[in-house]
Amino acid sequence: MDFKDYYTIMGVKRDASQDEIKRAYRKLARKYHPDVSKEADAEIRFKEVGEAYEVLKDPEKRTAYDQLGANWKAGQDFNPPPDWNAGFEFNGGGFTGGNASDYSDFFESLFGQGFANAQTGYQQPGYHAHGNDHHAKVLIDLEDAYRGASRSITLQAPEVDNNGHVVTKQRTLNVKIPKGVKQGQRIRLSGQGSPGMGQGQAGDLYLEIEFKPHSLYKVEGHDVYLDLPITPWEAALGATVKVPTPDGPVDLKIAKGTTSGRKLRLKARGIPGKPAGDLYVVAKITLPPADNDAATELYKKMEQELAYNPRSQMGV
């Protein structure tokens, strides 16, 4: 996927004010509008300009885009990391420049699946209006889902200053992470979104849970997976070994003749819940190195006495 430089598409500098971006959009929208433009690629350019404006006119989307784009270099394939918007607070408003189908895969990969499609809170006519909901992604440790936790999180919430430039403000919240929380689950903080108008209630803040990458475990839904190194003799003869789990170590029986890649199930040792997920231990047979004379002689003895050929069934 190619990275889209929305500033180049709009013909503005990266530090352009919101008014400058609005003027640039109006000029380009008139130039490339399919009903009046004679340019051969008018429809394509019109959609590109609309997409760029959809991001740059919105302080939240613009700041997130700037933060992500700073790590991209020309010539590289663009693939946003799954946690690129963690800790970033988005307004709940959806598309305003057109239909969702008008936007590129690049835009959809950043905003289309989550925050950009969120629905706004109902706004009553007149002076009293409900505040907008906000959305943010929060990274937690896998162990937090097993035990529950209280975490202090810092969120970034962009706003426009008196000069029309986007600035980022930070706010810190104390959040209770419930035991058994799942990847992608949303925690609602009532009244922590945008303030209402007049006597309207404030919007809510929705925190989407994302697990930090773990050195040992992978998560799939409610289930957790662990690659467990075992020795050839443990696999061949069977053994009972200590196995780490997010909830503490347990004893696991390795059956005689276990092969590499075999999955061993620890029932209800996955993400807690009703029902709880499972923990799958995947056996990975590892070989000790022949890095000294004794080890080398032992391997030679095994070669001679076992006469084992793992390719015997392959016709070679």
Quote the CA–CA distance of 311 and 94 in Å, as a whole number: 58
Least confident of 81-90, 177-186, 188-197, 262-271: 81-90
The answer to whether residue 1 sits within a structural domain is: no
Computed over every residue of the chain, the mean pLDDT equals 83
Record the pTM.
Answer: 0.62
Q: What is the CATH number of the domain that holds 94?
A: 2.60.260.20
The more confidently predicted of residues 159 and 151 is 151
* Same domain (yes/no): 135, 168: yes
182 and 309 share one domain: no
Please state the domain count of the chain.
2
* pLDDT the model gives residue 83: 58
pLDDT one-digit tens code per residue, 253-293: 999 999 999 999 999 999 999 999 999 999 999 999 999 99
Name beta bridge partners: 86.
137
Same domain, 125 and 255: no
Model confidence at 131, in pLDDT bands (50, 70, 90)? confident
Q: What pairing do the DSSP bridges indicate for beta strands 89-91 and 134-140?
A: antiparallel
Antiparallel, parallel or unpaired: β 279-285 and 223-230: parallel
Cβ burial, residue 70 (10 Å; 0-12/13-18/19+):
exposed
Assigned domain for 143 exists: yes
Q: Is residue 88 part of a domain?
A: yes
Q: Are residues 127 and 202 in the same domain?
A: yes
Give the confidence band of 181 by pLDDT, cuts at 50, 70, 90: very high
Residues 299 and 231 in one domain: yes
Same domain, 179 and 264: no
pLDDT digits (tens, 9 = 90+) for 80-103: 665 556 666 666 554 444 454 567
Question: What was the pLDDT predicted at 127?
Answer: 47
Domain that holds residue 227: 217-314
Q: Which residue has the tokens 């959305």?
A: 135
Predicted confidence at residue 125, as pLDDT, reads: 47
Between residues 200 and 48, the one the model is more confident about: 48
Considering the domain architecture, whether residues 207 and 227 belong to the same structural domain is answered as no
**Residues 261 and 174 both lie in one domain:** no
At 8, is the pLDDT very low, low, confident or very high (cuts 50, 70, 90)?
A: very high
Place of tokens 């991209």: 72
Same-domain pairing of 119 and 141:
yes
